[in-house]
């Protein structure tokens, strides 16, 4: 089993630095695929998942940090192995590193944007299978979390209201 200290971490301090790193990764990955090259190791595509969080109506940054630490932090309660939860320089923006499989042999890094208390965005550049496993653990085992589901007709409303900022980008 891997220890969290053995895993390369990429703690980004702000949403802007996250956007810069993700844009560079996307350009590199898509250009490589466009040119017909095989995907290189550690050039996984960017993934962003929306999770519906039923937490208090107007939580503070510290309340969400405490929730994350209690839910997936050092206790290992949700994933069976201790996870890492870190604050960043920005409010409602967190870094977590959690197991990406039931054996703790893979780790997944997420940057969580909880600026909308109901719809959290979880961003990762890790492989799809462990990312999907980690999100499945969150939504199936943690009370108050669910996969966000938006009907197609609601997407223009989300774009217009900036509910999901990256949809209109």
Which pLDDT belongs to residue 142?
A: 85
Mean per-residue pLDDT of the chain: 79
Q: Considering the chain, what percentage of its residues have pLDDT values greater than 70? A: 78
Place of tokens 């039931």: 102
For 113-163, the DSSP string reads: E-SSSSEEEEEE-S-HHHHHHHHHHHHHHSTTEEE----GGGHHHHHHHTS
Residue 41's pLDDT band, with cuts at 50, 70 and 90, is low
**DSSP 8-state assignment for residue 25:** H
Amino acid 163: pLDDT: 62
**pLDDT tens figures, 5-18:** 433 457 788 888 88
Residue-wise pLDDT for 108-162, tens only, equals 999 999 998 888 999 998 888 999 999 998 888 888 899 887 777 777 777 777 6
In order, the DSSP letters of 45-105 are PPEEEEEEE---SS--HHHHHHHHHHHHSTT-TTTSS--EEEE-SSTTEEEEEEESSTTS-
Element (H, E) at 15: helix 15-34
Helix (H) or strand (E) run with residue 31 in it: helix 15-34
At 43, the pLDDT band (50, 70, 90 cuts) reads low
CA distance to 57, 102, 131, 157, per residue, from 125 (Å): 30, 20, 9, 28
Q: Residue 32 pLDDT more than 50?
A: yes
Q: What angle do CA 70, 76, 79 make, to 5 degrees?
A: 110
């Amino acid at each position: 089993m891997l220890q969290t200290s053995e895993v390369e971490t990429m703690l980004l301090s702000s949403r802007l630095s996250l956007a810069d790193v993700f844009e560079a990764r996307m350009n590199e990955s898509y250009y490589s695929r466009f040119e017909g090259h095989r995907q290189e190791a550690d050039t996984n595509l960017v993934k962003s998942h929306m999770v519906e969080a039923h937490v208090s109506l107007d939580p503070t940054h510290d309340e969400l940090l405490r929730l994350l630490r209690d839910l997936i932090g050092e206790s290992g309660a949700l994933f069976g192995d201790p996870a890492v939860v870190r604050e960043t320089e920005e409010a409602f923006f967190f870094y977590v590193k959690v197991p990406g499989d039931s054996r703790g042999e893979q780790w997944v890094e997420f940057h969580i944007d909880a600026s909308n208390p109901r719809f959290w965005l979880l961003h990762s550049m890790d492989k799809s299978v462990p990312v999907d496993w980690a999100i499945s653990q969150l939504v199936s085992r943690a009370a108050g979390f669910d996969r966000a589901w938006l009907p197609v007709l609601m997407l223009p409303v989300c774009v217009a209201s900036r509910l999901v900022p990256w949809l209109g980008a």
